[in-house]
Every structure is written in structure tokens, then in C-alpha cells.
Amino acid sequence: MRNEGGGLYPSLQHLLDCGRREALMNHAEVKVKVAEEFEISLESVPTTGYVWEAKFDGEMMRLKDRSFLASQPGAIGGGGNEIFTFVPLQTGETEVAMIRKRSWEREAAEERTYRIKII
């Protein structure tokens, strides 16, 4: 998805409103409704071997989709955004931990935790 200037939106580009985008970027609490899809989109260059994994409570939400949006379609080895689409299943508070690592390594290169309040 591109903005008016033709460039990519910030890494959390697909969230429905700016308030949620800013909250996720600042690791603040995000409020969502039961059954209302929301996305976490993180910058990525998967050809380096580093990919994002989502750790979350499967009783509170489910992962509906995971995709990759290239910043320059057709570019070999280029970066883009890994997009995780979640569906909240019940009210309550939970967290989503996003972990960036190579599959053969034990230690994460980066971890981001997002607090989600489902109403």
C-alpha cells in the first residue's frame, strides 16, 4: 500500500486509524473490539534470514493471515513489511510479542511487545 507521494506508509501501515498506529509504534496499549481485525506490520528483509514470529495467547486471538509486502515489487532481495493480521476472540487484556530472528539461532535479534485490550 502506498501513500499519496508514492512511498510506503510507516511500518504499521494497515491499521485502521492513526491512534492505533501511533500506539503500536510506541508499544502502548491498543484497544480493539472482539472480531475486529487488526494488523501489525513490521519492516523486514527476509532474504537475510531474519523473519518475524508472533507469540500470543491463542485463546484471546487468532492469527488470520501473515503476508509480505515488498517495498519495491520485483526487486530481488529487497525489503518490505511482514504483515500479521489478528482477530480478537474474547474480551480482556493480552500481549503480542513479535520476535525477529533467524530460524537456526536461539537468540532473538529484536523483540517488540504490544499490549492489546479487547473490548
Domain ranges of the chain: 18-118
Q: Cell 507521494 sits at which residue?
A: 5
**What's this model's pTM, rounded to 2 decimal places?**
0.78
Query: Measured between alpha carbons, how far is residue 2 from residues 34, 39, 80, 83, 84 in Å?
Result: 28, 16, 12, 15, 18
| 18-118: CATH topology | Immunoglobulin-like (2.60.40)
Band the pLDDT of 11: cuts 50, 70, 90: very low
* 2-6, 74-78, 84-88, 97-101: least confident range: 2-6
pLDDT in tens, 46-70: 999 999 999 999 999 999 999 999 9
